[in-house]
Structure 1
Amino acid sequence: MKEKLRFLFTLGAFLFVIIVVLSLFSIKKPKKAARYIPPKVFAGKIAIVLDDWGYSFNNMHIIEQIKSPLTIAVLPDLNYSRAIAENLHRKGFEIILHLPMEPKDKSAMEKNTIRISMNEGQIAGIIDKDLSSIPHVKGVSNHTGSMATSDTATMEAVFRVLKKRKLYFLDSYVTADSRCFKVASKYGLRFSKRDVFLDNKNDPKYIKKQLYILRDKARLKGYAIGIGHDRRNTLEVLRDVIPEFEKEGYKFVFLSEIVQ
């Protein structure tokens, strides 16, 4: 009898241990809280316009590495103007006409430059010809033009054509005497003005510094427009810096998304 009780006691103890062990395994460990990732805060819009395309294909392999929106300003009537516009349009970039306009320094003017001595018919003829030479154009910017953009009559003639064509205008703002904003307002033309020149010095450190200035302007007023050129250093710096700015919450957009 004692041995039977001892056996039952041992068996009960054994079963109790098994139950305790099994219950320990069945207790679910609390899940680790998911790491909080704060939402990306929108910091401002940035539009980059790259001037003077049309001379060569030399930098195409660099710009094709940039996957963010850029606006390409193509000079008319050059050997590669049409082909570059077609190619970069297919890559998803926005195309505008970079219209040669009369500067105060007459030493280096493109052919068929818009001059203040021209009448409205001559100006319209040049713009129509230039637009026919470049496909997919959404807007126009001035190439040089310190003399022309400061002349009200000339800009009225230019803007009447653009208004009829439903194109916007970017004032590269090469002179503080520019009349572009006043005339654009008169005609209800979609318009904007350059904030920062990015590459007045063809030096990577300088270009990067200018991009940081552009970024700060975008943060302060909600958007900013920077103008650079078809240059290796400019494109390589943009390729490297744009992802950094995007991580900070800046949105790169086409110029057409900023003009008003």
Structure 2
Amino acid sequence: MQIEEMEFAIIAAGEGSRLRKEGFNLPKPLLPLHGVPLIERLIRVFAAEGAQQVHVIINRQSPELKLFLETGAFEVPIVLIEEDTASSLHSFALLVENNPNWSSCCLTTTDTVFRPHEFHAYLEAFQQQQDADAFMAVTPFIDDESPLYVHTDQKLRIEAFLDKASEDTKYVSGGIYCFRQPAMDCALRSVAAGNSRMRNFQRALLESNLRVNAFVFEKVVDIDHLKDRIVAEQFLSEEVS
């Protein structure tokens, strides 16, 4: 499916300090799954979905990652921003500031591992749900150290983002987002208001009375530790077995 008028972006500006403590001495986006670095895998998935280019934001302490992105033979051009930011939200806001012509975008963090066919269905659903200002991947699979719980109604409209689960909360955030212009504008306002976490921005979307819908992925694996790579590789192997 060719995605019209949508940009694709990856936040790869984190330090990856937990992986370094465990002996992986390269930036987290270069951690390989089945021999393919995390960030290359994302770029390949985006290219397969019709991305004309991929925007990537990295920090200034990642020369190996910068070199990889500048010299790699990718299917699509890489638009690179090198900047130290205070949080993922600040990284997203910088992407929006640098691209005021975006009408919609798909954003992921670099350590989010998902099945391509579910991602394809997610993008198709976003295109169909034109009334959604924001479209969040959610999953019942919880492996994050500090998950953001997502409460929805029966039609998967998001009603609350919670730090702790309630009895009827089924999902957590998957770290994959699609946004239209009103949501991107809200990100800029959220940073200006002093917010410094993606979850607080997501709450601001609801406070601004924007329509925020969810799409359920069977499983999304978050890479924080080396042991998570084993889980992710097993998960991806299940897809092709």
- Structure having the higher helix fraction is 1
- TM-score scaled to structure 2, two decimals? 0.32
- TM-score scaled to structure 1, two decimals? 0.30
- Structure having the higher strand fraction is 2
> Which of 1 and 2 has greater Rg?
1
